[in-house]
Amino acid sequence: MPRTPRTPQTGEAAEAPEPAAPGRRPAPDRILVVEDSPEDAEAIERALRRTHPDLVLEFTARGQGLAADLLSREELPGLILLDLNMPGTDGHTVLEQIRSHPELGAVTVVVFTSSTAPAEVDACFAAGADSYVYKPVNFALFQTVLKGAVDYWRQAGSGAGSGAASVK
């Protein structure tokens, strides 16, 4: 099934994720954050701990080898928050590597970055991103936007409701 990218801000329904390989369903309560900035990683952790204390959070600062690491796991994350601008293997490459493996097709990838360039957005959707969310500078807005994105994709991944959500 082709992926139809949607953003939480649109309120449009997302298509159901592609099925995972048998025994390798993504865990909706597990989020992998791929972020090289210690400050941004700390802000993401603070925001998610406040809004979703039930989540299992994992952080990595490097994209190199991430797809291979995911393929070797018993349990896949339900959501990957992916920064684009990382040294070495950047977020675009990581996204392409993840999407090149059908076994990882059901893992939701949300690009969460400071880049607002339309070409970046288009390139990420073309490479298979499920959503593209800008990192606000203000922490309160940062927390609200992050909460909306996580809520949206957890709901879409569980098949509950219509899959529609809005940022409040």
pLDDT tens-digit map of 116-159: 999 999 999 999 999 999 988 888 998 899 899 889 888 876 54
> Are 5 and 129 spatial neighbours (Cβ–Cβ below 8 Å)?
yes
Q: What CA–CA distances, in Å, run from 17 to 14, 53, 106, 133, 155?
A: 8, 24, 5, 19, 11
Residues forming a β-bridge with 33:
59, 81
Fold of 26-156: Rossmann fold (3.40.50)
Q: In angstroms, how far is CA 97 from the centroid of its own chain? A: 14
Whether the Cβ atoms of residue 82 and residue 109 lie closer than 8 Å to each other: yes
Look up the pTM and report it. 0.78
Whether 91 has a pLDDT exceeding 70, the answer reads: yes
pLDDT at 109 (0 to 100)? 95
pLDDT tens for residues 34-75?
A: 999 999 999 999 999 999 999 999 999 988 999 999 999 989
pLDDT digits (tens, 9 = 90+) for 10-26: 444 444 444 444 556 88
Rg (CA), the chain: 14
